Amino acid sequence: MPEKISYLIGRAIGHITWFLIPPKRKNMAVRNAVLSLNISHKKAVQIVKKSWTKFGPMIIDVLRFPIMKYNMNKYITLSGTENLDEALKLGRGGILAAAHSGNWELLGGALSQNGYKLVGVAQEQSNRGADRFMNEYRALIGVYVMYKYDVRNMFKMISKGWLIGLIMDQDAAEDGIVMPFLGRDASCAHGAATIARRNNAPIIPVFIVKGPGLTHQIIIHKPIFVAKTQNKHEDIRTATMIITKQIEDHIIKHPAEWFWLHNRWKSVERHRATKTYTEKGK
């Protein structure tokens, strides 16, 4: 299908599906945007809507992987590759700390197509057909896929000099470290800091943002190194806080790129509400 028609269909999909999202979920996302960005309700609605409708073109990007892989840099510009190269020169592999911002599915493939050995850590989907489709298309553009419960293999791949790609902005529930995120406490994933500390590997924050036309820009930040003192938990917490702050800064700069329909603060809010309810009951 011609490129222009493909993305025209993608944009239509994004706008049509916006009307199918339950109002309760939209209201949650808008409320979170208002509280996090200190903006008006009207502005929050615009940001949340844009953050959803971009999924239409994102789907088209994924479906076009078989075409894009032959000329990836027509669609991608890389900024900060010197930071990634500097980290890899150490010979310890590394962890890419990314977020659900921009077309994160394209992020790993673009780096792979530019010669970086990358393992994409994925959440296994309940629908086996969808899971197989996504993993086949990730592999198609050079990403080695691993499920997030396969921690032992992650350590092995890093020790061989590979990059491990982790999405760091989801609610980590009871497994996370509670710390401020966009002004409110949230449960933050500490996997990157934990793995990096054990392997003495660098953490490289990396994001992708929409550029002009059909292009995207990948922004690679300077590597973060986890301290290795006698206080392991504090070392991990400090590094996780640095990563969390970089994700915050990126969202504030590119708010419509982030996925607001995920309730980032859910587990902490639920825990505190339940605790308050229990104490009142007593």
In the predicted structure, residue 244 carries a pLDDT above the cut 70: yes
What letter would DSSP give residue 221?
P
State the burial class of residue 85 (Cβ atoms within 10 Å of its Cβ: 0-12, 13-18, 19+).
exposed
pLDDT computed for residue 186 by the predictor: 96
CA distances from 91 to 33, 120, 200, 220, 240 (A): 40, 19, 10, 18, 23
Write the pLDDT tens digit of every residue in 73-109: 999 999 999 999 999 999 999 999 999 999 998 999 8
Amino acid identity, position 186: A
Report the pLDDT averaged over residues 206-214: 94
**Which has more pLDDT, 136 or 12?**
12
Q: Which of 214, 257, 219, 210 is nearest to 75 (CA)?
A: 214
pLDDT at site 197: 94
Any idea where the domains of the chain sit in the sequence?
3-281
pLDDT value, residue 2: 87
- The yes or no reply on domain 3-281 and CATH 3.40.1130 is yes
Q: What is the mean pLDDT of residues 227-254?
A: 96
Span 140-195, pLDDT tens digits: 887 877 777 677 888 888 888 899 999 999 999 888 999 999 999 999 999 899 99
Half-sphere exposure of 130 (CA within 13 A, CB side): 7
| Percentage above 90 pLDDT, the chain | 70
Would the pLDDT of 277 be above 70? no
> Which pLDDT value is given to residue 120?
81
